[in-house]
Structure 1
Amino acid sequence: MSEEQVTYAELNFQDSSQIQNTQEFDQVGLKAPPAASHVWRQRTLALTLLCLLLLIGLGVLGSMFYLTSKTEKEKLKKLQNFKKELQRNVSLQLMYNVDSFEKIRNLSITLQELTTKLCYELHKREPEHKCKPCPKEWIWHGDSCYITFNNYSTWQMSHMTCSVHNASLLKIKNKSVLRERQKHKEFVKSLSFNYFWLGLSPTPTIINQRYKKLDETIISSDWFTGNTNDLNDIDRMYCAHVNSYLYYGSCTEGKHTVCEKLANPVKTESILMSEK
């Protein structure tokens, strides 16, 4: 075969190869775009469905939140109404209790007064009756208990004697008691002896007026409330003693002692019980 024939054959073979490659490329290029468009279409559809599901989920959650919020608001409103009703009932109950307590208190006071009066009547017949609100051998008068000691003592010793009995020297503070038929004054006069110490504070100087009427000094603020150990040079001071009049003399003089303390409340059961 000649060289020209070989060259021509090679050229024809190359040309046919190029044509075949070009056709294959054209076929591949034409088929690729439809495949890519199909994938994007599927992805778009999936995203659209996902968005719809999210919107539906948000709607459901919103509905649930709204219903729950509405229910909780209704419950809260009911609780608030219940609280107001409860507070109103409590207030009414408290008012009722206060009114009942006041009535009970008034009844208790009335009962105590009647009990005391009844006990006093029994006491007049039986001085040591069990209902007596004072210790044995003490004198009951008004709302106080009294006891007398016949021995002569200085003012300081008399004060200490009363302290031992959880009492104080006689203090007549209520002027109205004296003026109301002079009951307290008559009681003081009725004691078995005269010239006894009073619980007035000692004074370093003698009172200018030698004596005063008893009811003229009742309002005095000088009633002694301290301890005799706190008094300096009490032996050089002047103390008050009384008969029908008030006198001041040396605290070292010997006088009688009258002690006073508050009476205990009269107990109802002490009257109801027959034992004396």
Structure 2
Amino acid sequence: MSEDTVYANLKFQDSDKKEEIQKSDKCEGKGSSAASHSQHKTVMILSLLCLLRFIGMVIIGGIFYATSETEMIKSNQLQSFSEELQRNVSLQLTQNLNNTKKIKNLSAMLQNIATELCRELVNKHPEHKCKPCPKGSQWYKDSCYSEVSGHATWQQSVMFCSSQNASLLKVKNKDVLEFIKSKKLWGYWLALSPRKDHTNYETLSEKMFLSEEFEGSTYDLYTMYCGYIDGVCVYYTKCTDQRRIMCEKPASKVQVESVLNGFPDGSL
């Protein structure tokens, strides 16, 4: 083969390669352009999504802030209302307490007036219905004194008075001492503890009853001595002897209605 032929073939081959390279470059350019366009759309979509997300977050933040502000206002209003309510309740309680004290004071005053008026009525009419003591008994200060007919031993007397929710006669203070002396009682058992030894008479005094606490069933009364009153003196005798009985019990409260209503016939 001649050198010209060889050269021509090589030239032709080089020409074909160039043409293929140019075609290849053209294809790659088109492919690169399409890929770039696709990437651009993706970037745009992502950017739009990010923008929408940002806008959504701003809106949510705005709603949250507005809601928080509203709730804060409501909370402050509720707190103010609660404090005002507490002040009103405290003021009302104070007023109620003052009113209660006034009512108690007025009630006590009315009770005292009713009691004093009842005493005046009982002085005129011993069995007036306002009397806070059992029928037939005597009312003095805050106690009722009832004489019992007949005689009994000291223990029997204690048991009888106890059955009436009362106790044997005793002197609690100087006022009662003067009242008992004024009655000039003779031969009445007293609420004094039995003694083992016989004792000479003593002058009646409230001091004799200061530490007296006894239970009749705890003594061997057949060998002991019990006290009784004769005038202004206290004597001791065998507890099994029989003496007279006077029971004492606390007086009930005077009922205001009983004072106001008077006797059944309407008179006082």
Band of TM-score, shorter chain: 0.7 to 0.9
Does residue 203 of structure 2 align to residue 213 of structure 1?
A: yes
2:213 to 197, 209, 223: 223
Runs of at least 5 residues in structure 2 that lack an aligned partner in the other structure: 1-8
Tell which deviates more after alignment, 33-42 or 90-99. Answer: 90-99
Note if contact 1:240-1:246 (Cα within 8 Å) is conserved in structure 2.
yes
Q: Do the aligned partners of residues 66 and 235 (structure 1) sit closer, same or farther apart at CA in structure 2, a change above 3 Å counting?
A: farther
Please give the secondary structure, in 1, of the residue aligned with 2:115. helix
Q: Which residue of 1 aligns with 2:131?
A: 132
User: When the two structures are superposed, what TM-score results if normalisation uses the length of structure 2?
Assistant: 0.83
Residues 202, 240 of structure 1: 8 Å contact kept = yes
Q: Alignment partner for residue 228 of structure 2, among 220, 238, 241?
A: 241
Scaled by the length of structure 1, what TM-score is found?
0.80
Q: Deviations over 1:181-240 (max 9, x none)?
A: xxx23432344741211223334x337x6233222525522133xx433x0423333323
Deviations 1:67-116 (A, max 9, x none): 22222222222222222222222222222222222221111111111111
User: Is structure 2 residue 260 aligned with structure 1 residue 261?
Assistant: no
Moved more, 15-24 or 242-251: 15-24
Q: How many residues are aligned here?
A: 254
Q: Which digits, 9 at most, give the CA deviation of each residue in 1:133-189, with x for residues without a partner? A: 1111222111111111232211110011111212111232224x2xxxxxx234323
Q: 1:194 aligns with which of 159, 175, 186?
A: 186
Assess if the C-alpha contact under 8 Å between 2:177 and 2:206 holds in 1. no
Task: Provide the C-alpha distance between the structure 2 equivalents of 1:21 and 1:248, rounded to a whole number of angstroms.
Answer: 156
Is the contact between residue 133 and residue 265 of structure 1 (CA under 8 Å) also seen in structure 2?
yes
Deviates more, 1:93-102 or 1:18-27: 18-27
Deviations 1:37-76 (A, max 9, x none): 1111111111111111111111122222222222222222
Alpha-carbon distance, 1:18 to partner: 8.2
| Contact 1:144 1:262 survives alignment (8 Å) | yes
CA contact (8 A) 2:161 2:247 kept: yes
- Asked if the contact 1:174–1:218 (Cα under 8 Å) also holds between the matched residues in 2, the reply is no
The percent of aligned pairs where both chains have the same amino acid is 44
Q: How do 1:1-276 and structure 2 match up within 5 A? A: 25-175=24-174, 177=175, 184-191=176-183, 193-203=185-195, 205-206=196-197, 210-218=200-208, 220-224=210-214, 227-229=215-217, 231-243=218-230, 244-276=232-264
Give the 3-state SS of the residue equivalent to 1:195 in structure 2.
strand
Contact 1:150-1:256 within 8 A present in 2 as well:
yes
The verdict on how the C-alpha distance between 1:44 and 1:201 changes in structure 2, with shifts beyond 3 A counting, is farther
Structure 1 pair 216–189 and aligned structure 2 pair: CA distance change class (3 A): closer
Gaps of 5+ in 1: 1-10, 178-183
* SS across alignment from 2:151: strand
3-state SS of 2:128 partner: coil
List, as ranges, runs of 4+ consecutive aligned residues in structure 1 with deviation greater than 6 Å.
15-23
Flag the 1:79–1:58 CA change in 2: closer, same or farther, 3 A.
Answer: same
